[in-house]
Structure 1
Amino acid sequence: MTGEHSSRQYDADLETLRSKVLLMGGLVENQFHDAIASFRSGNAELAASVITADSGVNQLEVDLDDACRHLILKRQPAANDLRTVMATVKVITDLERIGDEATKIARIAQGKDPQRGVMIFNDYDAVRGLASQVGNMLHDALDALARLDEKQAVKLIAKDAIIDQDFRAVMRNLITYMMEDPRTISPALDALWIAKAIERIGDHAKNIAEHVIFIVEGKDIRHSDYAATHVDGN
């Protein structure tokens, strides 16, 4: 009976940890969407709320890291569960960094001048497509984590190359604007920094997908062509 009780308590500890990680994922996803919305609208209050929320995300990182350490020390998990805890620690780090990138976007949005003249190009339009793709990628990565869906995770990893290509296209367009009209330099630079932050969020979403595969299959696929050979489910 004591062994059964210990096992049940261990399962409960794992589920509590999992729930809190998913909660953290939801918080950073909201941060990202609110940061992009504040950049689109120039809403300084919304941008400030994103920045304020980052302290809560940071505290969650500390608390969850501590919970993982205690779980390992107290429960001494077997191989499969230890793999899950190790991957969870890495997921937590990626989530915190997504929050940091969202905060960077919000800080730029906070300093945006709504009266910055009638621009030849719309700075939000320059990054809108990239933001939409990465927003979907982040959502799907968190969904794959919640369901431990390795097939979805593989598809997400393959999408990262597309995100990188789109970022380079945005960068070229913004550089062209700046070369053709010096008046666009300041807003174009802001859009460029935001595009880079969005691209980095895509990288962290890809990392989360890789962690899902590590949890499910026990394979560390970082720095490999795993997705290229498995994207069709082979």
Structure 2
Amino acid sequence: MAINFLSLEKSELELNDNFLSLVSLCRKMYIKLATMVDNKIVTQESLDKMEEYHNRVNESRRDIRDDCIWIISKDQPRASHLRYIIAVLYSIKDIERMSDYAYTISRILKKEKITTVMVNRLSSLLGKSIDFYDCIIDVLSKDDLSEYEEKIQSMFNSFRIDYKNFLTNSIELFSKTLSPSDVSQFISYYFNFSIIIKYIDRIVDHCLSIYKNFVSVKNR
């Protein structure tokens, strides 16, 4: 069966637009989360908004997945076209997990009443993860991703160093803040806090994964 390249090109353009919309929607979640952290408060209204974003991301991911399957069955893409669709399929899973992390962080901050000391220290690390996300989004629009590999890897390594130092410094800070009688409270607070910062670390991992998903598509 002959491939209809006009139909395939149209389908791919629509898929690209939908994928970029999903990427943008997930970013809105992180900007909303950063605002809550900066304001040191998670209201029920803010949490409801995060849930709305989270649901929209999940719905959009399912729609894009179905579109990918339909394009493959209808247009029978080959070579770079097929690689692009596969890259999108892998990446929407990354976006879904990033959305899950953002929503879970907001719920922890609301439910567990994390101390002000903990919240104050989140802004910088969260901001750096958003910067990395923005860099990935920008790079995806380029024709050749290989020339950005060194920059991406350097930003990733830098974040990892900051993450490890942040974790170590936080332990020292909390141990100085709480008295010996507050050991159980310290454990509870630090456990919740460590979950949050690990999720921020995983966000950056998924950003790097998205970049790698498209390297083979763009560099052929």
> In the alignment, residue 141 of structure 2 is paired with which amino acid?
A
Instruction: Verify: 1:146 aligned to 2:141, yes or no.
Output: yes
8 Å contact 1:94–1:208 — kept in the other structure? yes
TM-score, structure 1 normalization: 0.81
> In the alignment, residue 134 of structure 1 is paired with which amino acid?
S
Q: Percent identity?
A: 20
Q: Distance in 2 between matches of 1:62 and 1:201?
A: 20
Structure with the larger RCO, 1 or 2 (CA within 8 Å, 6+ apart): 2
Query: CA 1:148–1:133 in 2, change beyond 3 Å: closer, same or farther?
Result: farther
Query: What is residue 9 of structure 2 aligned with on the other side?
Result: 11
Q: Distance in 1 between matches of 2:197 and 2:52?
A: 22
Encode CA deviations 1:38-57: one digit per residue, 9 max, x unaligned: 23321322133112221111
8 Å contact 1:149–1:212 — kept in the other structure? no
Q: Cα distance, 1:15 vs. partner?
A: 0.4
Query: CA 1:154–1:210 in 2, change beyond 3 Å: closer, same or farther?
Result: farther
Q: Cα distance, 1:191 vs. partner?
A: 3.1
Considering only aligned residues, what root-mean-square deviation do their CA atoms show, in Å?
2.2
Query: What is residue 159 of structure 1 aligned with on the other side?
Result: 155
8 Å contact 1:31–1:53 — kept in the other structure? yes
Three-state SS of the structure 1 residue aligned to 2:141 is: helix
Q: Distance in 2 between matches of 1:157 and 1:111?
A: 35
Question: Unaligned 5+ residue runs, structure 1?
Answer: 219-234
Query: CA 1:102–1:148 in 2, change beyond 3 Å: closer, same or farther?
Result: farther
8 Å contact 1:127–1:170 — kept in the other structure? no
Encode CA deviations 1:182-228: one digit per residue, 9 max, x unaligned: 5572544443222111111111111111122121125xxxxxxxxxx
Question: Unaligned 5+ residue runs, structure 2?
Answer: none
8 Å contact 1:126–1:191 — kept in the other structure? no
Query: What is residue 65 of structure 1 aligned with on the other side?
Result: 65
| Structure 1 residues 66-85: aligned runs within 5 Å | 66-85=66-85
Encode CA deviations 1:158-184: one digit per residue, 9 max, x unaligned: 321221211111111222233332557
Query: What is residue 87 of structure 2 aligned with on the other side?
Result: 87
TM-score, structure 2 normalization: 0.86
User: Which segment drifts farther, 122-131 or 73-82?
Assistant: 122-131
Query: CA 1:152–1:47 in 2, change beyond 3 Å: closer, same or farther?
Result: farther
Encode CA deviations 1:43-96: one digit per residue, 9 max, x unaligned: 322133112221111111111111111111111111111111111111111111
Query: CA 1:40–1:111 in 2, change beyond 3 Å: closer, same or farther?
Result: farther
8 Å contact 1:68–1:85 — kept in the other structure? yes
Q: Cα distance, 1:112 vs. partner?
A: 5.2
